Amino acid sequence: MARRRKTWRFRLDDATTLEVSAADGPTEKQVRRRGRWSLILGTLLAALMVVAVASADQLEADADAAVEAVPHGNSASATQSAGTTVAYDFSAQIVNTPPNSGASDNDVFETAGTCTTAPCAVTVTITRSGDWLASSPDAGTPASFSFTSYLAPQDGTIRVTVPSGMPCGTTKTMTAALSATASNGRALSSSSFNLSYVISTPACAANTAPTVDAGGPYSGDEGSDIGLNGATASDGDGPGPLSYLWAIDSSSVGTGSCSLTNATSLTLATIKCTDNGTATVKLTATEAGRHRIRQR
């Protein structure tokens, strides 16, 4: 005996009708349950399709300073001694994040354009710059990254050489500029990233001013050279060297005048006055352009 088939139609909306046919066996209640599951499954698939479309690709990078935990940011700082070379780490990856509402599918690894074989690649070129960028054997590795999937970080370095003799407390900024290009021609919502490394030489130690003693009082004859002897000038904590300068602070010698010779010598300077009277001289000691102390 031939089995009869039954057909049920369910109106989903004004434009869509779901039709279900079955041979004898299932009840109408069972068929209606199947129809509801079909509707739920169709809705879930539609939602997944929307999520797949509403995505954007971008380049993400982190700068990692030496001997520090991996920071999630685009800058790092470190202290480095003069005459040393240090390699600083960074990492980069391609991430897929929800863009603004209405953005279209922008998968940079799908076949499209001139890329006909999946996965298509994203190439990230790295340009390093800065006054202390190392030159030998290189300024850091690699020269570029090649990505074929999301969330697959790759590591790189930027090498920094602080020149010998660089003064304490000197700071320079090195940069690693990353730029991404997809082989399938699709654009990334964020395709560039600048990583900054602020490198400083160790801070300068506290420094005290030098001390100086102008000696005296001095006396002599009118018109004669009178020797000036700065007995002691000290600077216990350096860095030195010290320089000296004698100067006439004031004079009262009638109608005459006073003059100095060898004024930059601590012990060989002389003063000569052309008339009777008194004069005051001062001695200044200067430490490498940093501290200055005077003694009259």
Is 244 within a domain? yes
Same domain? For 241 and 281 the reply is: yes
284 contacts 294 by C-beta, under 8 angstroms:
yes
Q: Hey, what amino acid is at 262?
A: N
Answer yes or no: is pLDDT of 14 > 60: no
232 closest CA partner among 251, 253, 260, 213: 213
Answer yes or no: is pLDDT of 177 > 60: yes
Q: Model confidence over 80-139: pLDDT tens digits?
A: 999 999 999 999 988 886 544 333 456 888 898 889 998 999 999 999 999 999 998 899
Residue identified by tokens 């520090």 is: 68
Is 205 within a domain? no
What is the distance between the alpha carbons of residues 123 and 145, in angstroms, rounded to a whole number? 6
What is the distance between the alpha carbons of residues 98 and 51, in angstroms, rounded to a whole number? 8
Same domain? For 121 and 100 the reply is: yes
State the burial class of residue 203 (Cβ atoms within 10 Å of its Cβ: 0-12, 13-18, 19+).
exposed
Same domain? For 146 and 269 the reply is: no
Q: Model confidence over 43-55: pLDDT tens digits?
A: 443 333 333 333 4
Tell which of 175, 200, 225 closes a domain.
200
Same domain? For 223 and 291 the reply is: yes
What is the distance between the alpha carbons of residues 81 and 170, in angstroms, rounded to a whole number? 10
Tell me, yes or no, if the pTM score tops 0.75.
no
| Confidence at 274, pLDDT banded by 50, 70, 90 | confident
Same domain? For 61 and 193 the reply is: yes
Q: Model confidence over 28-39: pLDDT tens digits?
A: 555 455 545 444
Q: Model confidence over 190-221: pLDDT tens digits?
A: 888 889 999 999 998 877 777 788 888 888 88
Is 229 within a domain? yes
Answer yes or no: is pLDDT of 271 > 60: yes
Same domain? For 62 and 165 the reply is: yes
Same domain? For 129 and 176 the reply is: yes
Same domain? For 103 and 155 the reply is: yes
DSSP characters over 21-63 = EEESSS-HHHHHHHHHHHHHHHHHHHHHHHHHHS-EEEEEEEE
Same domain? For 47 and 62 the reply is: no
Q: Which domain holds residue 120?
A: 56-200
Same domain? For 185 and 64 the reply is: yes
Phi/psi-derived region of residue 223, left when phi > 0, alpha when psi is between -120 and 50, beta in every other case: left
Is 162 within a domain? yes
Is 120 within a domain? yes
Is 16 within a domain? no
157 contacts 149 by C-beta, under 8 angstroms:
no
Cα–Cα distances (Å) from 132 to 160, 200, 265, in that order, read: 6, 11, 40
215 contacts 230 by C-beta, under 8 angstroms:
yes
| Confidence (pLDDT) at 41 | 42
Q: Model confidence over 134-155: pLDDT tens digits?
A: 998 899 999 999 999 988 889 9
Say whether 212 sits in a helix, a strand or coil.
strand
Query: Residue 115: which residues within 8 A CB-CB, separation 6 or more?
Result: 121, 183, 184, 185
Ramachandran angles phi, psi of 247, nearest 5°: -150, 150
Is 119 within a domain? yes
Tell which of 53, 68, 100 closes a domain.
53
Is 7 within a domain? no
Please report, for the domain that includes residue 150, its CATH number: 2.60.40.10
What is the distance between the alpha carbons of residues 34 and 6, in angstroms, rounded to a whole number? 14
| Confidence (pLDDT) at 123 | 94
Q: Hey, what amino acid is at 36?
A: R
Same domain? For 102 and 76 the reply is: yes
Same domain? For 155 and 237 the reply is: no
Give residue 262's Cα distance to chain centre: 51
The H-assigned helical ranges of the chain are 28-53
Looking at residue 103, the DSSP 8-state letter turns out to be P
| Confidence (pLDDT) at 70 | 36
Q: What is the mean pLDDT of the chain?
A: 76
Helix, strand, coil shares of the chain as percentages rounded to 5? Answer: 10, 45, 45
172 contacts 130 by C-beta, under 8 angstroms:
yes
Structurally, the chain folds into a number of domains equal to 3
